[in-house]
Amino acid sequence: MTNKSRNSLILAIGIVFGLSLGLGHEVLASKTTPLGADLPWRDAQVLAEVMERVKRDYVNPVDDHQLLQAAVRGMVSSLDPYSAYLDGEEYDEIKISSSGQYSGVGIEVSMEDDQVVVVSPFEDSPAARAGIRSGDIIVSIDGVPVNSAALDDTIGRMRGEEGTEVKIGILRQGNLEPLMFTLKRAKVELHSVKSQLLEPGIGYTRISQFSETTGTELNAALKDLRKHNDAPLKGLVLDMRDNPGGVLEAAVAVADAFIDSGVIVSAKGRTPDSKFEMDATPGDALNGAPIVVLVNGGSASAAEIVAGALKDHHRAKLMGHTTFGKGSVQTIMPLSDDRAIKLTTSLYYTPSGVSINHRGIAPDIELPRQASPEAAGPAGGAQPDKTMVQRDAEVQRAVQELKVSPNTRDATATTAAIT
């Protein structure tokens, strides 16, 4: 082995040591184990050899920092579609996103079968206004094909400075050629809860996603509905169609608003922090009045936590279509120099102990597919002269179900012990 190759190998081994120490203190758990005894030496040698060949023969010059950043990013993103390495800019963006505001086009995406798939556009975002839909496949950004091996790269290219434009190529079922959308990036305000009275006694609350303020927003919305109704509500339509999820604690707060006691969600992982159970606190904001939850294939993650809890406790009926099936929990772990990793640390389970990962939650009442999402979608942008019940067949069906549903206070009391 040449001196250069040997030096690269030492560098590669140092990388593995550094990552091990940075990502988990378990490396130091045993004082009797020689440091690095379990390292895959041959793999480290391959890494060193590849780096040397790339630096020597690649068509454009590349430095160690560029290669190592790519190696770290690839290592984390190869684990699953949701784990990712976050550089300084990406980390800043994810902090802004969780707080309820960022600049971009407003799309939640996932990697499925090596394709970047739209889980759902955020309500009132540039993407939603342009007509991008759940299930669309993103094939290009600004004329450049997406990198199916790097989901965060696709996300980063869609975000940017407010007022700038981005061209997104979409492959949609039923279309042979990609559809091109030119979107102007904007501040995406994540006001996640909207509500209105559908008719006397029947409230409607839409949760578009889960941010840090969602629980507070929901309580305020329910209070406002009671005020406008001038009496307690007789029923509620909780609309979580095309809700891509968000903050776990916000989902727990929403479910807790309607459940008196018992498990809301539990999770299992390898570390103590990744194993937890969250329980409801006493009190039901609707005092047992019936709830119908509208869901579809764009209802994911935190939305599925709420749907699963309300269904398992028999506190609500789910109506619509099977949900997306994202049953994992990601934890943001800060690193040095304002970087972080978003790592899948747990699988979560509904109160009955079921994992919905890759399966979703089937509704209690399956609805026929709507011919036109614009006519029946949660935003209700079409046909503004009509009420929501008139223009949205699924909301109309939910109201009909509420009118024949009994008060569920007794039912929730008998199912509170579900674990």
Residues with catalytic roles:
301, 312, 326
- CB-based contacts of 409: which residues, under 8 Å, 6+ apart? 284, 287, 288
Tokens of 279: 């329980």
Secondary structure (3-state) at 348:
strand
248: left (phi over 0), alpha (psi -120 to 50) or beta: alpha
- Closest of 321, 266, 259, 265 to residue 293, by C-alpha: 321
Convert 305-314 to b/e letters by CB count within 10 Å (16 or more is b): bbbbbbbbbe
- Sign, CA dihedral 302-308-309-311, equals positive
- Closest of 144, 208, 202 to residue 395, by C-alpha: 202
Q: How far apart are the first and last CA of the chain?
A: 59
CA distance 416 to 414: 6
CA distance 348 to 273: 13
Q: Phi, psi at residue 391, to the nearest 5°?
A: -95, -10
Strands 291-295 and 317-320: parallel
Q: Are 222 and 230 in contact (CB under 8 A)?
A: no
Which residue type is seen at 216?
T
Tokens of 155: 């996300």
DSSP 124: T
Q: Are 82 and 328 in contact (CB under 8 A)?
A: yes
